[in-house]
Amino acid sequence: MTAKAPMNLRRLLIGSAVFRLALILYGEWQDAHMEVRYTDVDYLVFSDAASLMASGSSPYKRTTYRYSPLLAFLLLPNSVLHRSWGKFIFSASDLLVGYFIYKILKQRKVAEDLCLYSVMVWLLNPFTFTIGTRGNCKIIQAAVWYGLVVHFRIYPIIYSLPIILVLNPRYVQLGKKPLLVNWKSNAHRPSSQSGMEASTQYNLWTAAKSMFSKERVLFGLVSGGIFFLCTGLFFHLYQWEFLNEALLYHLTRADPRHNFSVYFYHIYLQYGRQLSLVEKLISFLPQSIVQLVLISTFAQDLPFCFFLQTVAFVAFNKVITAQYFVWFFCLLPLILPWSDMKLRWEELGCVGLWMGAQLHWLLWGYLLEFKGQNVFLQLWMASLVFLLANASVMAVFIRLQRFSPIFLQIKVSDSKSGVKSE
């Protein structure tokens, strides 16, 4: 039995790798023979930026390249070896995320079959394998340090507050290995309600009273140091061009092109008029309120908190594309073992609602983009429906989740004696 488990995981990873290789090869054929390209348009931007860097120029000379220079650096072999190099890198990172999901769940003593099913949710997800093989880089962030991730893509900054909340001396102490709450230990909890009540005891006010613990200060210094080191290095190389395009642009971004966001229609109507700084930043208000509510309620259950934060962040963002869904899909397998979701009518209806709202939006998007019909108002109403669908899905997940703090509280006797519990 012991030898069978790694083979199952190995077969899953090998099968997923072969499948992704086939998709990459098919993408090369489709790009050469069909009108609609398989390769993501962003990948062409990444490749052009890498080509500029290889020639000694700034990657920001490529219009719409608004990422860290690290991404262009990773894709330098695109110009030397093969243009699909980046797709292999992104797909390999995709597989690495699946391996990490398995290891994280095993650390919490999740049953073997449930671990593999959870990994399948990631590796066999159509959004995952199509976006990775088309050359979109969203997946790679799961494999690097937090400080580097925030530099690489700014949105994981939303996870900093729940991490700080969890780094409470009652649960995490320097020199001691934190004790994870095992999957079976909380399996008897009937619902998330009791967990929600327990988590309110561990809110922002409680954390504020002991904000400057050694653990929190160390985490802030290390992650912040990595972020500012990378940012300072590339600011030295590319000056304000880097800072404006890679970081500041995302704070005041106003994209008039149609997308899933409810804000696109207002931005479109105001296109041509210079929006004030307040107008550009006002969209962060509902986003921030929802984030604070979720963090103060679910911070102890860190994976679940991350998942809800990401879904809410994407749903309320000024710009939403299908690639953004990968941000929370990579967290979904980490919460499924603690969810009471099954293939019942309610859960199937939840999935159908989310997919249906998306397809409804895509119908109006098709009429606008390919048929040239003036359906901007209908498209905006479809965006509202999609926002409501995301909120409904979050509500279902919250109701069916069995709240499980990620760390056990350290006993006072163990803390004083220095004995590490197992």
Express each pLDDT in 23-46 by its tens digit.
888 888 887 877 667 787 788 888
Express each pLDDT in 261-296 by its tens digit.
888 888 778 776 776 667 666 778 888 899 999 998
Q: State the CB neighbour count (10 A cutoff) for residue 58.
A: 18
Q: What are phi and psi of 339, to 5 degrees?
A: -105, 145
SS3 (DSSP) at 136: coil
- Give 392 or 223, the one with higher predicted confidence: 392
Question: Quick check: 90 and 129 in contact, CB under 8 A?
Answer: no
- pLDDT of 152: 60
Distance CA 67, CA 246 (A): 5
Express each pLDDT in 149-173 by its tens digit.
665 667 788 888 888 888 777 776 6
Indicate the range of 55-64, 146-155, 413-422 predicted with least confidence. 413-422
Residue range 82-99: mean pLDDT, rounded: 87
DSSP secondary-structure letter at 290? H
Residue range 333-360: mean pLDDT, rounded: 85
Question: Quick check: 363 and 381 in contact, CB under 8 A?
Answer: no
Residue 261 to residues 287, 359, 387: CA-CA distances in angstroms?
12, 14, 8
Q: Which of 284, 221, 231, 260 is nearest to 380 (CA)?
A: 260
> pLDDT averaged over the chain?
78
Distance CA 50, CA 79 (A): 8
180 forms bridges with which residues in the sheet? 407
Query: In the predicted model, is pLDDT for residue 117 greater than 80?
Result: yes
The residue written with tokens 């969890």 in the block is 166
255: pLDDT confidence band, cut at 50, 70 and 90?
Answer: low
Q: Which of 121, 103, 122 is nearest to 112 (CA)?
A: 103
Q: State the CB neighbour count (10 A cutoff) for residue 108.
A: 20
Q: State the CB neighbour count (10 A cutoff) for residue 119.
A: 23
- pLDDT of 315: 92
The residue written with tokens 């105001």 in the block is 270
Residue ranges of alpha helices (H) inside 200-283 are 204-209, 214-243, 249-251, 264-269, 277-281
Query: In the predicted model, is pLDDT for residue 84 greater than 80?
Result: yes
Express each pLDDT in 350-359 by its tens digit.
888 999 999 9
Query: In the predicted model, is pLDDT for residue 142 greater than 70?
Result: no
The residue written with tokens 């052009």 in the block is 48
256: pLDDT confidence band, cut at 50, 70 and 90?
Answer: low
Indicate the range of 70-74, 215-219, 345-349, 415-419 predicted with least confidence. 415-419
Q: State the CB neighbour count (10 A cutoff) for residue 47.
A: 21
Q: State the CB neighbour count (10 A cutoff) for residue 235.
A: 16
18: pLDDT confidence band, cut at 50, 70 and 90?
Answer: very high
